[in-house]
Structure 1
Amino acid sequence: MILYELISFEALRVIWWLLMGVLLIAFAMTDGFDMGAGTLLPFVARTDIERRVVFNTMGPVWEGNQVWFILGGGAIFAAWPPLYAISFSGFYLAMFLILGAMILRPVAFKYRSKRKDPRWRAMWDRALFIGSAVPALLFGVAVGNVLLGVPFHLTPSLMPVYEGGLFAKFFGLLRPFALLCGVVSLALLVLHGAGWLVLKTTGDLQSRARRYGVRAGLVVLAGYALAGLWLYFGVTGYAFVTPPAHDGPSNPLIHEVLRQGSWLAAYGERPWILIAPVLGFLGTLLAIGALRSGRDTLPILCSQMAIFGMISSVGLVMFPFILPSSTHPTSSLSVWDASSSHQTLFVMLVAGVIFLPLIIAYTAWVYRVLWGKVTPESIDENDTHAY
C-alpha cells in the first residue's frame, strides 16, 4: 500500500509508455531476425540442404520470440485500452493479414520437411517467405500511419469511430510516406536477419547473407534519411493548446489539440533525444561494416542497435502522443489521457517486475543452450529431429 502511494499516476503512465516501447523493441530484435531470415530464404539458399539450414537456424527459437509479440499486445490491451480498441479496429484488415501471414510461418516450419517432394517443399518455402516479408512490411506501414495520423474520432461518450469502410480502412493505410516506412522496416529486418544467418551459418550461404545484408543496410540508410526529411518538410505534427494534467482523467476530449509544426521540433525542445536517430544510423553503418569485414557476431549486435535507435526515435519525437487523429485532432490519444487507472497500472507493474526477469532469464538460457552454427552435416546427423 505504501509503495502504491509512492508511485504517482503520472509516473506509472510514463513507466508503462516506456515498457510498451521496450516490449515492441524486444519483439523487433527477436522475432525480427526470424522475419528477416525468412525473407532472405529464396535469395541466399540455392539448394534444398541450404534451405533446411535456414529453417533450422530459426526453428528452435521462433516460438519463444513470439512471446514478446503477445506481451506487447497484452500490455497495450491492459495499460492503454483506447489505443488497443482504435488501432485493432481501425487496422483490422492489416492486422488480419499480419496474423494470417504469421500463421503461415509455424505451419511451414512443421510441414516443410515432412515430404521429400520438391514441389511440396517449394510451397512451404514460399509460405515462409510470405509469412516473414508481409508482417515486416506492414508493421512499418502501421508506424508510418501513426506518424501521419489516423482518421478516427471519439464521441462524447468516448466511443471510438473510425471513418471509412472495411476496405477503405486498409487501402487508406497505403499512403506514400507509410509505404516508405514499410520499406525501411522490411529492409531493417532483412539486415537483422542477415546478421542472424551470418552468426548461425557457414560457407556460401553465409557469404550470400553478407551480400544481401549490405544491400539491405544501404536501403535502410537511404530510406531512414528520406523519411526524416519527409517528416520535416511534409508531415504536420501535433501539439496541445494548453498543457494537460499529467495525473488527470483518461479522457482525451478535455484537452484541445492542434495540428501544427513538425514532429521533429521535439529535437529542439529535448535535444537529448537526438541519441535515438544517431544510434539508428550508427548501428546500420556498423552492421554494414561488420558484414563486409567478415565478422560473425558483430553484425547482429549492430543491427540490434539500429532497431533500438529507429524505433525509439519514433516514440520519442511523438511523446506524449501515442495515436494522433488526422480528422479530429482533439480525439488524439496521449500518454496523459489514454491509460488505465492508477490501480490497474500499479498491479500490472508488480506483475511485470516479477515475470519479466523470469522471461528474460529463460530466453537467455535457451539461446545459450542453442548457441553454435547450423551446418548441413549437423542436419544429416540429426535428420529425424531437424526441420
Structure 2
Amino acid sequence: MILHELIDYPTLRVIWWVLLGVILIGFAAMDGFDLGTGILLPFVARDDIERRVVINTVGPVWEGNQVWLILGGGAIFAAWPQLYAVSFSGFYLAMFAILFALILRPVGFKFRSKRESATWRSAWDWALFIGGFVPALIFGVAIGNTLQGVPFRIDNEMRIFYDGTFFGLLNPFALLCGLVSVAMLTMHGAAWLALKTQGPVRERSVRYGRLAAIATIVLFALGGVGVWLLVNGYSITSPIDPAGPSNPLLKEVARSQHAWFANYAAHPWTLIAPALGFLGPLLVLVLIGSKREILTLLSGFVTMFGIISTVGVSMFPFILPSSEQPNASLTVWDTSSSHVTLFIMLVTTVIFLPIILAYTSWVYSILRGKVTARQIEGGGHAY
C-alpha cells in the first residue's frame, strides 16, 4: 500500500482544515498578547521606566511568537493554494498595512532607547501602539469580510479575479469584527501584563483588562446578532464529493439568511465554540487582578479558541465564500492540494510542530517571572 493511502483524501482535507484553525488560534494566542501589549503601552505606563518595563515583557519573546504567522502563511500556500491566491492578491493592500505595522515593532524595540529625547521615545511608543492596533483590527476585518463573502470570481480556465477594493473591506460589519479582535487581543495583553509586571503598571493593566473583557463579551454578542440579521450565509445545494477534484466550479451554492447557523442546528455540540467565546472573557473579568495570573492568561487562550472556532464551525465546509460568484466559493472539499501533498505536509507537521511547542515552552520557562523597574534600571540586555 502506498503510504499516503493510509489516510483517505477526505479525512486529510478535514485534518488540514483543523490544522489551519489550530495555527490561527496559536497565532492569536501567542502573538496576540504581544499585539495587546503594544496597544496598551501608552496607557498603562506613565513614565519612561514603566514603558520600558512593558516593552521588556514581550521584547525577548515576540520574535519566537511570529513563528505562528509564518506557519499560517506557509500552511495556506501549501495546503490551500487557491485560498492563498485569492487572499494574498485580494487583500494585498490590507496585508501590506499589516506588514508595515508589524515592521514597526522590531524597529521600535531596537531604536526607542537609542536616544534620551522624550519626544523620540514617545514617538516610538506610539509606533508600537500602531504595530499592535493595526494588525489586530485588520485581522478582524478580514474575518468579517470572509463571513460576508469576498468579491472574487474564477473563469473556466481557473484564473482568479478579485474585483473588490481596499476601502470596500472597511464596511460596518467587518469593522465590528475588527473591534472584536482589538478588544480580545487588548484583554489578552492585559492578562499578560498582569502576569509579568507589578505595582502601578499591573494595577492599570488590570483595569484596562476588565474593560477589554467586557468589550469582548458585548462586541462578540453584537457580532452574532449582526450575522443573524445582516449577513447572508452560504450553503452547497448540489451533491458533495469529499474526495473530488480541487475545482470550485463543480458545485452549486446558494446564499440565504441564517445559513451560517445551520451547523449548530445540525450538530448541537458545536455550540461549545461560541459558549467558550463568552466563557473565556468572563473568566478573565473575574480572575484578572487575582493571584491566579496563569489561569487568567489561559482564559485568554480559551477566548481565542472559542471566538475563532465559532467562525470556523459556522462556515464549514466553506473556507472563503465568493459574494460575486457563489458557485466559485472555496470549500474544504474542492480547494486543497493533492492527496500526496497533504500527507507529506501532515508527516512534516507531526515531526516539527512538537519541536516548536517544546522549544517555545522551554523559552517561556527560562523567562518566567516578573519584569521589574530595578531590572530595567540595572541595564544589561533590557530594551
TM bin, normalised by shorter chain, reads over 0.9
Deviations 1:308-353 (A, max 9, x none): 1000110011000000001110010000000000111111111111
Equivalent residue, structure 1, for 2:7:
7
Q: How does 1:1-387 map to 2 (within 5 A)?
A: 2-164=2-164, 169-262=165-258, 263-293=260-290, 295-381=292-378, 383-387=379-383
- 2:249/2:327 contact within 8 Å kept: yes
Q: Cα distance, 1:243 vs. partner? A: 2.9
Provide the rounded CA distance (Å) in 1 between the counterparts of 2:130 and 2:15: 36
Deviations 1:41-90 (A, max 9, x none): 01100010000000100000000000000000000000000000001111
TM-score (norm. length: structure 1): 0.97
Deviations 1:158-186 (A, max 9, x none): 1111114xxxx110001111000000000
Give the aligned residue type for 1:217: A
Q: Give the ranges of 4+ consecutive aligned residues of structure 1 lying more than 2 Å apart after TM superposition.
A: 292-298
Q: Cα distance, 1:4 vs. partner? A: 1.4
Q: Which runs of 5+ in 1 are unaligned?
A: none
SS of corresponding position for 1:112: helix
Provide the rounded CA distance (Å) in 2 between the counterparts of 1:26 and 1:47: 33
Q: Cα distance, 1:261 vs. partner? A: 3.5
Provide the rounded CA distance (Å) in 2 between the counterparts of 1:10 and 1:136: 33
Provide the rounded CA distance (Å) in 2 between the counterparts of 1:294 and 1:155: 58
Give the aligned residue type for 1:371: R
TM-score (norm. length: structure 2): 0.98
RMSD: 1.0
Of 262-271 and 170-179, the range deviating more from structure 2: 262-271
Of 138-147 and 300-309, the range deviating more from structure 2: 300-309
Deviations 1:70-124 (A, max 9, x none): 0000000000000000011111110000001000001111111122111111111
Provide the rounded CA distance (Å) in 1 between the counterparts of 2:102 and 2:188: 18
Provide the rounded CA distance (Å) in 2 between the counterparts of 1:234 and 1:173: 16
Q: Which runs of 5+ in 2 are unaligned?
A: none
Provide the rounded CA distance (Å) in 1 between the counterparts of 2:336 and 2:44: 45
Give the aligned residue type for 2:333: W
- 1:255/1:330 contact within 8 Å kept: yes
Provide the rounded CA distance (Å) in 2 between the counterparts of 1:185 and 1:35: 11
Q: Cα distance, 1:230 vs. partner? A: 1.1
Give the aligned residue type for 1:222: V
- 1:214/1:292 contact within 8 Å kept: no
- 1:152/1:162 contact within 8 Å kept: yes
